[in-house]
Structure 1
Amino acid sequence: MMWKLRSAAYEPHNFEYSDDAGVTMSQRRSAGNPIGGIVVVTVQYRLGFLGFLNVKNLLPDVLQITTNFDSNVGAHDVLLALNWVKKNIESFGGDPDAITVAGHSAGASIASCLYLSGKADGLISRLILASGTSESAFDGSWGYRDVSAKLIKSATYTDIHAKNLTQSELDEVESYMEYREIDDVLEHFDQKNFLGWPLVVDGELFEDVPRVMAENLNSTQNSSKPLEVFLGVTRDEWAAFELKLMLDGVKALDPAIYNWRMVVKFVSKILAFAYPRNEITSKMRKMVDGYGFSAMNPNVSSWVETTIDVLTDAFFASRAIREALYYQKLGANVYLYEFTQPASSFLIDGYKPVLHGDDLSLLFGRKGGMAGREMARLWTDFVRGIAPATEPLDTSRWNYVEIDDEGVTERRDFRRNARTLWGLRDAPLYIDFPKEALEKAWQHPTVTLF
């Protein structure tokens, strides 16, 4: 099993490919759960500015620095590691024809994108995608586009999307990219962008966005056995980001922030990314019914919980559902899970959410309890070819496994609101909407329901 394709950031629980591990554990702590008779290979790849700066396909014809600044080089590192494992793992007691790639958050995104690109053909037998999908850390996801172009513009005052750039402007960009210290460059990084440095369409490794790559990929490539995919979410993924907002100064129980009006306003703006303007009001009415919004509810803590529930569905669970369908259409055996055991001490008025990353804390920690041990067992069994559930996903039942300190329970009706309210549309929908639509989306007026 290849592991350590993880989320990495300068702040905990981020999605980006940056410069330090989002969740760091000592060797003693990570050894808390036994490996279980499988060969584990950890992968290190270039992160942040060095791993995911996108220059080559921004200025393909006018800069001579393209060979030094390829796009998605961090993902190329992982692909190189995969090829090495395929060639050499037998010498370490592993099976080159049974390679499982496991990733969390951004790591799951890069693992899935490599498979969907077709460039890892014959290298991957199984995928474990924990709290991340091919869309999670891709350019345009979460509303952030052209991260590299914006940084270059901020640093050099040169709009590299502009036509008829002068040679002096191009020389300035080239000089800046070749000779500046990394810290100087990162001073111009948009600090409001909590996604970080995303994967991009580069025309080589990733020829299109994930949905299109999935559509263009032939059924489970050339393998004689169907691909197997185990993917899922924690119950309250968004709580990690809400906690960050609170640490940055947002009051945990501020009635001016967590109330009927603010939640409706925020959700309607998310919908503006994914749906035509004339559909937003009807979609919002369904949201009100599905999540039980009530203008008469004065309980501030319940609005915190509602906010987390809505955004977990919008940005995590709905994407996991789409990812499952991508792979199902490719002929893969797909298994869904939901991790529902809290690991953190984050508590708001009796509400204890299961954060993005809580599963890793319990999976690799000595005090993981039943949930951590069961997650470890499911992973190691899956690597050995033992299915985590009685049957693969059946979309007539939406069967999945729930993991907590009670053990593993097979259930039906996976994240109903994520399926029925958010559906198969992205939020924001970088796949169909042009750049101009994304820029204007946040300017839409808040819908009026009553």
Structure 2
Amino acid sequence: MTTLMTVLGIIVFVLGLLFSIAWHELGHLSTAKLFGIRVPQYMVGFGPTIFSRRKGETEYGIKAIPLGGYIRMIGMFPPGDDGRIAARSTSPWRGMIEDARSAAFEELQPGDEKRLFYTRKPWKRVVVMFAGPFMNLVLAVVIFLGVMMTFGINTQTTTVGTVSKCVIKASADADTDTCPKGAKDSPAKAAGLRPGDRIVAFNGHPTDDWSTLQTDIRNGIGEATITVERDGVRKDLHAVLVENEVAKTDGRGGYVEGETVKAGFLGFTPASGVVKQSFGESVERMGTMVQDGVDSLVALPSKIPDLWDATFGDGERKADSPMGVVGAARVGGEIPNLDIPPSQQVATMLFLVAGFNLSLFLFNMLPLLPLDGGHIAGALWESVRRHFARLFRRPDPGPFDVAKLMPVAYVVAGIFICFTLLVLIADVVNPVRIT
């Protein structure tokens, strides 16, 4: 049964992956057709074609390897300086440029001269290239907000989970169930706080948010009144918070691994529970996820040594380690076997797909060819050049020849391929597990 559920989870994730890719390419396709650009192909996947059907001037199909997708637009790059589409050269770098240029005109037909991508105004090309990643962003936002507001998310609450017996530094290597000799009782224990109590107010200020309560406790050294709800009855408890070495927080209720600070200490661990979020709370959490995604993308190069050590050495695969499609599929296979309610299994799977879409958006917005962001940067640069030419009454410089950047694009693509292979091997030999 476990194997069957694992396979089912993988299939569900792969279907979500294929939909996300198709949705991305639909953004490019719809805006390209809107601006009159001819699109011969719309494909989901790479490699051999499994299925295809032509409708109008476009062939729609699915390929064997579900690791991406593409649409082919006529005239992605302008002709060379001599006006020719292809002119051979013995230089390998020049050959890359000319090959890319010729591929952009492979299926040129009579009448296509006015339907080429590069002939569209820069802002239209920006719209076409941005539409794909934007579709992923829209899908991620809709799923994230929908899940948080409908299913709820597992979060720390103001309900007491466990009460510390004594005051122990966060850095102390001690058994939490055994107090060191001479250790004082924790303020929570001394005040009579019990597991299951729901803290509803702190020093007279109502609270239903763990992050806010955590901040109040850390800033509240000295006497404090804690109002709890116990068995349906509200009761005031009086505690004297002490200064202690505690784990550093990230400002959102979580903790920064390995870092400590001096702050107020009460001495209890909050219970976790599934809590539905309001629209405002969901938007705030969504903003945090985007910021975390950007930070992770920026920090990606610094994580490669640990990833290498976890793949080819005896290093531990960290929870925030980069993960590829294979790793995400394995996580998708674990979700149906989690010991959580079915509704939360569905929510977790949706979160996985939403996270993949958010990553697609952020990654594709990097201003590097062959990514969408590279084409956007080229169109914006062309717009700037033409604006300055008009401002200083100089001749129109014409379209910016993005094809000249293809050697750089090949280098970038090579780096991406090597990184993808490293992540793939890591996902196989030392995968990230949510269990």
Shorter-chain TM-score: which interval? under 0.3
Higher share of residues assigned helix: 2
The structure having more radius of gyration, on CA atoms, is 2
More strand by share: 2
TM-score, normalised relative to structure 1: 0.22
TM-score by length of 2: 0.22
